[in-house]
Amino acid sequence: MILNEEATIKSHDRYEIQFQCFDDNNEPADLTGATVRLLSRPRYPGGSATMELSIKEIEYNIGIITHMLDGSMDDPNTYEIEVEATRADTGEITTYPNKQKSGKKYVLLKVNPDLG
């Protein structure tokens, strides 16, 4: 499942989710040579501390980051997620999604309680 805008899961779900980064021309971003971080924070109450999510795999040439749901976002909430890429050659940091480029500030992942 590639998340680019918004998705809903249940607490205790354990499967891979992917995020894809796009450049200014809405083409898949080439992240080759970049250090990539996947960041998340709960939206409520008031966007508390940011946590770095584990990255299982990166397809650098097409900007796809894979994360295995591991319990770090099990508390019911809406989580704001972004990808931060730092270019090794220039030190330039680009954050995806970028509101100026895409109109979106974050990818949103809503976590509902599990009945079990």
Averaged pLDDT, 66-87: 93
Q: Do you find a cis peptide bond into 28, omega within 30 degrees of 0?
A: no
Length of the chain counted residue by residue: 116
Q: Please state, rounded to an integer, the average pLDDT across all residues of the chain.
A: 89
From CA 35, how far away is CA 46, in angstroms rounded?
A: 28
Each residue's pLDDT tens digit, 27-69: 999 999 999 999 999 988 766 789 999 999 999 999 999 999 9
pLDDT at 9: 92
Q: Where are the beta strands (DSSP E) in the chain?
A: 2-3, 6-10, 16-20, 34-42, 51-53, 57-59, 64-68, 77-87, 93-96, 107-112
When divided into structural domains, the chain yields a total of 1
pLDDT at 79: 92
Buried b (16+ CB within 10 A) or exposed e, 44-74: eeeeeeeeebeeeebeeeebbbbbebeeebb
pLDDT band at 99; cut points 50, 70, 90: low
Query: CA nearest 56: which of 19, 86, 22?
Result: 19
Which structural domain range is residue 96 located in? 2-112
Contact yes or no for 61/103 (Cβ under 8 A): no
Whether 101 shows a pLDDT value over 70: the answer reads no
From CA 96, how far away is CA 104, in angstroms rounded?
A: 9
Q: What is the CATH number of the domain that holds 56?
A: 2.60.40.10
